Amino acid sequence: MQSIESKSEIARWTSEELRFVHRKEVLEAEVGAAMLDADSGVETTADERVARLLSEQRGCEVAIQTARQRRSEALQAKRAAEVKAIQDRRADLEKEQAALLGKVERHRKALVELLGIEITLVSVIPGRHSTVQSLAVQISGLDERVRRLEEPVPNFGMVAVDNVRTIDALIEALAAVEGVIPPLENVLAWAKACEPVPGEAFRDLPRNYRLFWTAAGIDTQQSSIFVESLCVPGPIGTYSNRPMGLNLQSGTFRATKPQSAAF
């Protein structure tokens, strides 16, 4: 239950970031219109309106950064909860191992007394582990999981979504990433930069998203949007005189300008 709640909290702050990104976009358009009205004298209160809109726009920027910070905190809290659960499980296994070793030692001493010689217990069946050894393996595996969880949260990654008609599925995939993700404002800008005619080229056509990023920002060389229905026919076959499949590269689109890092 804790894990599900933690994932929901991480996704929640991604959703909040997106909400304020969209609000900021709307405000930018409103600010532009208000500034024109102020310059032309169309509206006597235009200056006040511009100031109010700019203040709200700055508020959106703060909200976006706060949402990203809270997502990071939720991710850290999830990791901490997982570490605690693993450590509790490890403690239980250690108690079970200690109790079993105690029983083994008592039986070993009884055999020593019965046979009159020192005895060492050794597992001799290849590929088989005793219960004690199996417990040791489990404990070691838990230690490795804790070690990975205590490493810095990764600030690089890749998400892929196929056969979707909007960017919503890509945002949902990013929300589920348990690491630092690019600012959603940059993701939306990248998607627009991939379209030859922003907002028109892809329309509602099915597409595949591939998004790669590092601490430096979105990797525009590896990241792409593939739209099969925009592919042109492949080369003409020598013998068939017909197109050989599709030219996949013609339907693969990449951003024509780099995106800001601002992680």
* Distance in angstroms (rounded) separating the CA atoms of residues 145 and 87: 10
Where helices occur in the chain by DSSP H, the ranges are: 2-40, 46-115, 131-149, 168-175, 184-194
**Contacts with 12 (C-beta within 8 Å, 6 or more apart), sequence order:** 74
- Whether residues 24 and 101 share a domain: the answer is no
Calpha distance 9→67 (Å, rounded)? 11
Identify the domain containing residue 64 by its residue range. Answer: 2-82
pTM to 2 decimals? Answer: 0.78
For the stretch 150-194, pLDDT in tens is 999 999 999 999 999 999 999 999 999 999 999 999 999 999 999
- Which two tokens mark 107? 């039986």
* Residue 188: inside a domain: yes
Domain contains 71: yes
> Residue 40: pLDDT above 90?
no
Residue 247 domain flag: yes
| Total domains, the chain | 3
Give the confidence band of 50 by pLDDT, cuts at 50, 70, 90.
Answer: confident
Question: Is 54 in the same domain as 70?
Answer: yes
CA gap 112, 118 in Å, rounded: 6
211 and 164, same domain (yes or no): yes
* DSSP secondary structure, 59-71, as one string: HHHHHHHHHHHHH
Which amino acid is present at 263? F
Contact 259, 217 (CB under 8 A): yes
Whether 200 maps to a domain, the answer reads yes
183-237 pLDDT, tens digit per residue, is 999 999 999 999 988 878 899 999 999 999 999 899 999 999 999 999 998 776 6
One domain, residues 58 and 119:
no
β-sheet bridge partners, residue 226: 208, 252
Q: Please indicate, yes or no, whether residues 179 and 246 belong to a single structural domain of this protein.
A: yes
Same domain, 143 and 164: no
